[in-house]
Amino acid sequence: MNLPRSVTALMLMLLFSAHATAQVSSSAPAPVSRWGKWGYVNDRLKRVLPLEYDFAGPFSEGLAYVKVGEKWGYINEKGEAVVPPQFEDARTFSQGRAAVMKGGKWGYIDKSGQMVIEPRFDSASVFVEGRAAVQAGDWRGYIAPSGKILFGGGFEDVGTFTDGLAYVRKGGEWQYVDASGAGLKGVAEEPNKFQVAFFSERLTPVFLYKKLGYMDEVGELVIKPQFDGGGIFSEGLAPVKVGDLWGFIDATGRTVIRPQFESAGAFGDGLAPVKVRGKWGYVNKSGATVIEPRFASARPFFEGRAAVRVNGKWGQIDLAGKEILTPQFDDLGFMGDGLIPFKLVGKWGYSDGEGKVVVRERFDDAGAFSEGLAPVRVGDTPAVRGKYGYADKTGALKIAARFDEAGPFSEGLAPVRQGDLWGYVDKAGELVVQPKLRRAGHFYRGQALVSLGRENAYIDPRGNVLRRLWNSATFPDLNLSSLTVEGQITGTTADTRGDLIVDVLLESTPEGARAYLVPRLFWEDNGEGALLNDESKLADFRVSEGLTNRPTERKEQVFFAVFFREGRKAALICDVKSLNRVNKCAATQGDWR
């Protein structure tokens, strides 16, 4: 379904709650990766600790985990090894404790490196509000900083605490528990079943320097970036790409189904779409084929239905692979509030589960219904793209089409874009959060993940920042393919696999110079101006005059534009984030030497 990025991405973005988290310092050095090694830079992007680690995490409570060879330890902000590398994995400090892996099990150390909770867990979270979520075999529950078990058992999944509540999965349903372990309102009782099915997992994918890993609800990297692609967690498993093949991992990062598929999607109703020899079928959680590959495309099951494409048309099958909706549509979306978006002859409408048309095809684009409304686009012409508004189940526009993109409603608010910026609209069509965000996710338990430009944060329904996240990690757009079809994450034209695409116009007067866009750290680490005497060292950064469209890591926003022409040379600083809308770095007559 060719939905707008917002409709698909924001329906599927995993957002979690947590006002409290490990105290990652925004003023401390930030990790950065270059040429396969990690070091640290300050807030002016100047290197302050050398590129000598195989991986480096954020500073929290004065310490950061680093990887040297195959072992993990901790350093302070001076780069001194406080806890020598000795662990198989490590996480950030929180409330004086850090989870570390030794002998294949997780335990906790204090800031001196002393093991205060012996390794015995298969997974372990950071401490929040004096509790950490842990797993040992089939047992899941919570422990205190002393290692004392507080409560647990009978859970299929456990999350971290926020404001005295945590959400857990029990008997296949999500519910909240308080600090004593007493169950409260079940998440599964909430009206938006689609949201419950695909939003309530605890892990969300992030990209760090072109590798994908997974972050938990308090911003902790619980599965280190190591994959070449991946999808969302659903029903406890996520599709990941290793090299050219796809498999599935569990929430600990353990491979459950080895990489063997050409592509893979998310689990739904116990089955996941996979691609084998160019055709799509479905496997169960053991990797066994349940529905033989025979479809041109396939999407995950939801409430016993999955969309499949046969001979260029989309229909639906049941869990046995039996056709329940004859392939007849040019595209199909997910059912929401009992209606399915469909496309015929270039227009979108809505049908019921039997294929009966409820709203005739009249929209230029259409998303799934959520909370009684669906984002739709109207007004397309051959030269101009139309605008998005919101329709009710009769097809009537309840919120006028005036947005450039629009996402689904969640907890009474929907993300909308006007120009380049996002805000939130309520069901009356009023902008309750003015457009000021670079990206905007859906609300879940009273907060939404957004991009403020150079950093990500959670906001409340009034737009107030609740907490900021470590901004070296980027949150890829999760479009329809991340849940379905190809099972992978793709970014926007400005954010591809965690990279910022730098569109900088390089010009020289006179024209005809050889141009290079050189990252500031490379410039500083390799003799700065001395590079003008050895053009060959800049070969990796050669660009043509004009838009460079050069992929670069998010923190790498300061460059030196270097030009060579007829024995003369010029170099000038090129700070992408401070350029004007023309995005131009130009060498004039006075810059040549």
Contacts of 383 (CB under 8 A, 6+ apart): none
| CA atoms of 172 and 180, how far apart (whole Å) | 21
Identity of the amino acid at 532: L
CATH code, domain with 110: 2.130.10.10
| CA atoms of 263 and 244, how far apart (whole Å) | 9
Identity of the highest mean pLDDT range in 44-48, 440-444, 535-539, 581-585: 535-539
Residue 63 lies in a domain: yes
Identity of the amino acid at 231: G
Total domain count for the chain?
Answer: 3
Number of residues that make up the chain:
593
pLDDT 10s digits, 129-165: 999 999 999 999 999 999 999 999 988 888 888 778 7
More confident residue, 43 or 263: 263
> Span 520-540, mean pLDDT?
82
pLDDT 10s digits, 405-431: 998 898 899 999 999 899 999 999 999
Residue 87 has pLDDT above 90, yes or no: yes
Contacts of 159 (CB under 8 A, 6+ apart): 16, 133, 166, 167, 168, 202, 217
Residue 10 has pLDDT above 60, yes or no: no
| Strand bridging mode 465-468 / 456-459 | antiparallel
**Helices and strands (H and E) in the chain: how many:** 4, 60
pLDDT 10s digits, 548-590: 545 554 445 677 788 887 788 888 777 655 444 445 666 666 6
Q: Cite the beta strand spans of 419-481 per DSSP E.
A: 421-426, 431-437, 439-440, 448-451, 456-459, 465-468
Residue 219 has pLDDT above 70, yes or no: no
Do 210 and 183 share a structural domain?
no
The tokens describing 508, both together, are 């020289």
| Strand bridging mode 374-378 / 387-391 | antiparallel
pLDDT 10s digits, 540-549: 778 754 545 4
Half-sphere exposure of 174 (CA within 13 A, CB side): 22
C-beta separation of 347 from 331 below 8 A: no
What whole-number percentage of the chain has pLDDT above 70? 76
Helix (H, G, I), strand (E, B) or coil at 433: strand
Identity of the highest mean pLDDT range in 291-305, 450-464, 487-501: 291-305
Do 283 and 407 share a structural domain?
yes
Of 218, 217, 223, 280, which is closest to residue 250 (Cα–Cα)? 223
pLDDT for residue 401:
96
> Span 61-81, mean pLDDT?
94
Q: Which of 469, 488, 507 is the last residue of a domain?
A: 488
pLDDT for residue 337:
85
| CA atoms of 498 and 495, how far apart (whole Å) | 6
pLDDT for residue 465:
86
Residue 476 lies in a domain: yes
Residue 25 lies in a domain: no
pLDDT for residue 519:
78
Residue 459 has pLDDT above 50, yes or no: yes
Instruction: To the nearest 10°, report the CA torsion of 30, 469, 111, 114.
Output: -110
Do 311 and 230 share a structural domain?
yes
More confident residue, 391 or 511: 391
C-beta separation of 347 from 380 below 8 A: no
Do 539 and 481 share a structural domain?
no
pLDDT tier, 290 (very low <50, low <70, confident <90, very high otherwise): very high
More confident residue, 337 or 194: 337
Q: Which of 45-49, 100-104, 291-295, 553-557 has the lowest mean pLDDT?
A: 553-557
- Compute φ and ψ for 213, nearest 5 degrees: -135, -165
| CA atoms of 431 and 423, how far apart (whole Å) | 7
Residue 192 lies in a domain: no
pLDDT for residue 447:
79
- Compute φ and ψ for 11, nearest 5 degrees: -70, -30
Range of the domain at 582: 499-591
Identity of the amino acid at 367: G
Do 236 and 111 share a structural domain?
no
| Burial track 282-315 (b if 16+ CB lie within 10 A, e otherwise) | bbebeeeeebebebebbbbbbeebbbbbeeebbb
Residue 194 lies in a domain: no
C-beta separation of 560 from 571 below 8 A: yes
pLDDT for residue 581:
41
Do 106 and 71 share a structural domain?
yes
Residue 19 lies in a domain: no
Residue 21 lies in a domain: no
Residue 383 has pLDDT above 50, yes or no: yes
Do 464 and 351 share a structural domain?
yes
| CA atoms of 207 and 215, how far apart (whole Å) | 10
| Burial track 398-412 (b if 16+ CB lie within 10 A, e otherwise) | ebebebbbbbbbbbe
Spatial strand order in the sheet of 98-102: 89-90, 98-102, 105-109, 115-121
Chain mean pLDDT for the chain: 79
Residue 22 lies in a domain: no
Do 386 and 286 share a structural domain?
yes
C-beta separation of 507 from 586 below 8 A: yes
More confident residue, 187 or 320: 320
Q: Which of 134, 162, 187 is the last residue of a domain?
A: 187
Residue 21 has pLDDT above 90, yes or no: no
| CA atoms of 101 and 499, how far apart (whole Å) | 30
Question: What's 411-422 look like in SS3?
Answer: CCEEEEEECCEE
| CA atoms of 353 and 63, how far apart (whole Å) | 55
Q: Residue 558's CB: how many other CB atoms inside 10 A?
A: 18
Residue 105 has pLDDT above 60, yes or no: yes
C-beta separation of 214 from 207 below 8 A: no
pLDDT for residue 491:
29
Do 387 and 326 share a structural domain?
yes
Contacts of 64 (CB under 8 A, 6+ apart): 28, 31, 40, 56, 57, 58, 74, 75, 77, 92
pLDDT for residue 455:
67
pLDDT tier, 505 (very low <50, low <70, confident <90, very high otherwise): low
Do 340 and 461 share a structural domain?
yes
Do 519 and 450 share a structural domain?
no
Contacts of 344 (CB under 8 A, 6+ apart): 329, 330, 361
Residue 381 has pLDDT above 70, yes or no: yes
Report which DSSP code applies to 484: S
